[in-house]
Structure 1
């Protein structure tokens, strides 16, 4: 069954992958939140509050903000 293994049962490669994905996810989240805080409202498509909430949706939220939430 997928997802039923304990951390100690995972291989070194699996642990490294999960740790790396976590670092990438948290970095994207932090970058999006910092950008939202610094960028004026008139340079953002939609509301800052909505984008802040969406940024917490795994990889999709921050990436969507950087692709679609900022005005050029």
Structure 2
């Protein structure tokens, strides 16, 4: 049985790299915001948001949409 190796085009690799950087920046901003906010400004315990933010895209988006008291 042979396996076919699939390779991505250069543009696709670059696009995935950019998406990875954007996701990492999004998570960094969520962690930075969480660290600089008081506990009274965050919904739920701050310690619960740390692992939640680690879930790609969904975690940081959830923090910014639902975790910050307005």
The two structures have a TM-score, normalised by structure 1, of 0.86
2:67 & 2:59 partners in 1: Cα distance? Answer: 10
**For residue 31 of structure 1, what is the aligned residue in structure 2?**
29
- The offset of 1:16, in angstroms, is 1.3
| Divergent runs of 4+, >4 A | none
Where does the alignment leave 5 or more consecutive residues of structure 2 unmatched? none
1:8-28 deviation line (CA, Å, top 9, x unaligned)? x21012101110110111001
Number of positions where the alignment pairs a residue of Structure 1 with one of Structure 2: 66
**Alignment RMSD (CA, Å):** 1.1
- The offset of 1:32, in angstroms, is 0.5
- The offset of 1:29, in angstroms, is 0.7
**For residue 64 of structure 2, what is the aligned residue in structure 1?**
66
The two structures have a TM-score, normalised by structure 2, of 0.88
